[in-house]
């Protein structure tokens, strides 16, 4: 990453077990999380297309961001991690999206709900489609775990991150959630 002017946002690329993740933050918390793209350079390009970034070395990160880096690395190794206490700066996000993101943050590792269920949990019953659109604009995936939200009938649904619904399914599988059809009765009793 190349340095930019003083009006830029601090950011970093982190190598994890699921690939390179990009993050950016303000003094109030995480502002952007870029899920892994094809490689480090592609992740960096995607992150910098959404922010005016200024790379920061790990030694210069604020304590909550340095802690987040460790959490992301553990998560990338498949460890259950609770991101609900990570400070997030959602400046400019409307009240509906904030409510959806807050409700999503209450979903534990390995648990899912539907777009309709999340809308209801957030106090917006009947707004499943709007919920899907809000999650598609989620600036901090994993920390706001939009991958844990499924379409009706527990179908995978969409995912706007690199890799689309395949990436969503991989994150869920890493958390122990399997969406395929259940094994046949004969398979489940096989020894």
**What is the set of active-site residues?**
146
- How many degrees, rounded to 5, is the angle at CA 112 between CA 116 and CA 190? 125
Contact 110, 80 (CB under 8 A): yes
Contact 123, 99 (CB under 8 A): yes
Q: Which residue has the tokens 């269920």?
A: 117
Nearest Cα to Cα of residue 16 among 88, 91, 86, 71: 71
Strands (E), the chain: 9-16, 19-26, 29-34, 53-55, 113-114, 149-150
């Amino acid at each position: 990453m190349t340095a930019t002017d003083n009006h830029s946002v601090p950011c970093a690329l982190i190598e994890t077990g699921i690939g390179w993740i990009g993050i950016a933050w303000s003094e109030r918390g995480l502002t952007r999380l870029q899920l892994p793209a094809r490689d480090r350079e592609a992740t960096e390009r995607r992150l910098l297309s959404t922010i005016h970034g200024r790379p920061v070395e790990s030694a210069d990160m604020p304590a909550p961001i340095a802690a987040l880096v460790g959490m992301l690395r553990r998560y990338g190794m498949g460890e259950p991690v609770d991101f609900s206490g990570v400070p997030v700066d959602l400046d400019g996000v409307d009240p509906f999206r904030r409510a959806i993101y807050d409700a999503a943050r209450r979903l534990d590792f390995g648990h899912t709900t539907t777009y309709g269920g999340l809308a209801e949990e957030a106090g917006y019953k009947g707004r499943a489609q709007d919920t899907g659109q809000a999650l598609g604009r989620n600036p901090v995936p994993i920390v706001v775990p939009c991958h844990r939200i499924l379409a009706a009938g527990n179908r995978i649904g969409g995912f706007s991150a690199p890799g689309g619904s395949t990436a969503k399914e991989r994150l869920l599988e890493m958390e122990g959630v399997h969406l395929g059809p259940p094994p046949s009765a004969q398979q489940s009793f096989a020894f």
